[in-house]
Amino acid sequence: MMKKFFILIAIATTIVACSDEDIKRYPPPSTGGSGSEVGTAQIWVTSGDESRLLSAQDNLSIIDNNETSYPSITINEDEQMQEIEGFGAALTGSSAYLINNLSTSQKNSLLSNLFDPENGAGMSYLRLTIGASDFSLEDFTYNDMPQGQEDPNLDNFSIAPDEVHIIPVASDILAINPEVKFMGSPWSAPAWMKDNESLYGGKLEEQWYATYANYFVKYIQAFENHGISIDAITPQNEPLHTAGYPTMRMEANEQANFIKNALGPAFAEENISTKIIAYDHNFDEANYPMTVLDDADANSYVSGSAFHAYAGEVSAMSQVHNAYPDKGLYFTEISGGEWSTDFSSNLRWYIQNILMGSTKNWSKNALFWNLALNENHGPTNNGCQDCRGVVTINSSGEIEMNEEYYAIAHFSKFVRPGAHRIGSSDFENNSGLTGVAFQNPDGSKVLIVLNETPTSKTFSAIMGENRFDYALASESVATIIWE
């Protein structure tokens, strides 16, 4: 635990050239074919054994020879695919509470490590809960009424609960990184709009569709008044799940009807440019977003579909992309927890299945669940009892940067908003290597490579007539960037 605490203090200083001892342990490879240096590439590595944690290594030589006998990946920057909007996590009520109660110096240091592109991970996308979730301090919506009472004009609408912690922390984040985008997702409509008059389960009654659409409008406008633009919303978090915390069932045809008859027209009437993203649930029900998109009237208002990774396969995103290539794909939730505590296996799984997996299947972002939790996996609001945050803020004041932090950082720090995924071949079968490539708005190229094997692997990256080689340590991930 103490080692991870010191990581927070020292993270800005770990980005240095590798030491003589590192060179002895991980000697640079000999080339598959000689050539003259035509450029250099910067490289950062995180190792499964935690000996390197987002650590800069000696620059690699780019040479004018593309012949190699090593496993190779070919980069084609002329093949431009989806635009990347960002990488990050959810600023839940619990996360904001913990962050906002740090001392000013600790809070500034943590937020810099999370969001500063130069001195930290450069996270660029956050998900907010519209009202309470299973990680809030209590149950609430922005328009709660006494049992049996209604408020069709939303006269009692108020985001006051979020003005305590969410909005101050979000504002501090924007001061560090103004590029950060926000997505909002509700766990439940106000109870008086639902058929069971409870925040737990039930469905939105059709008579309140227009009122609930106005609820979203007021939410977006209220946050805008605080200088926080909501770039996208989903109509319902996990619409096929109900539980003993705020939840609401919303079938695919119901979501299509709500969007085309209420939410879309309300946004149009109020000149709301916030994207409407359908679904927001697991990979295993790809027919849900396609049902929404199959409805021509709903389709006209929908910008894309969002997915979680608790069931099914990431290829579901490509299934939807192939059916609707003009619509965006978003990956919006996965959580770590006590069910899996090995740093190396978690790092590799996140890189392979979530960050590479989602972007190679057309996602424009990749988000983890709680940005921060405490050592007791909370505060929780009747939800997951053993989830892990991207960082852990202990009651003692210690802060741990977890494996989720390093996995996200290998993308968020280097693949900036506005980047595009670019063409990259697959490594040879059985090499144990996986890669994905991007081009940033400034023209720089980024290659992330994962070595899943228990041995060091030397590989080559080929760019036209040029290439570079690198020996990547076992169970490690490398991010390489060049002009």
456 with 409, same domain?
no
Q: What is the CATH number of the domain that holds 467?
A: 2.60.40.1180
CATH of the domain at 285: 3.20.20.80
What 3-state DSSP class applies to 372?
strand
Query: Is 333 marked active-site?
Result: yes
Q: Is residue 7 part of a domain?
A: no
Residue 32's pLDDT is what? Answer: 61
Of the listed 85, 254, 285, 333, which one is catalytic? 333
- Residues 35 and 179 placed together within one structural domain of the fold: no
Residue 11 lies in a domain: no
User: Domain check: are 458 and 350 in the same one?
Assistant: no
pTM: 0.93
Indicate whether 429 and 399 sit together in one domain: no
Query: Is 436 inside a domain boundary?
Result: yes
Question: Considering 392, 417, 442, which residue would you say is the last residue of a domain?
Answer: 417
Last residue of a domain, one of 360, 391, 417: 417
Do 403 and 438 share a structural domain?
no
Q: What is the pLDDT of residue 33?
A: 75
Q: Are residues 407 and 450 in the same domain?
A: no
Q: Say if residue 27 is in the same domain as residue 162.
A: no
For 359-406, write each residue's pLDDT tens digit: 999 999 999 999 999 999 999 999 999 999 999 999 988 999 999 999
Q: How far is residue 165's CA from residue 322's CA, in Å, rounded to a whole number?
A: 41
Angle between helices 166-176 and 104-115 in degrees, nearest 10 = 60
Residue range 325-352, pLDDT digits in tens: 999 999 999 999 999 999 999 999 999 9
- Residue 2 falls within a domain, yes or no? no
Boundary-marking domain end, from 401, 417, 433: 417
232 in the same domain as 337: yes
The answer as to whether 452 is a domain residue is yes
* Residue-number span of the structural domain to which 116 is assigned: 85-417
What's the domain count of the chain?
A: 2
Does residue 349 belong to any structural domain of this protein? yes
Mean pLDDT of the chain: 94
Do the bridges between strand 372-373 and strand 336-337 make them parallel or antiparallel, or are there none, so unpaired?
unpaired
Interatomic CA distance for residues 265 and 10, integer angstroms: 50
Is 205 catalytic? The answer is no
Contacts of 412 (CB under 8 A, 6+ apart): 86, 87, 88, 121, 122, 123, 124
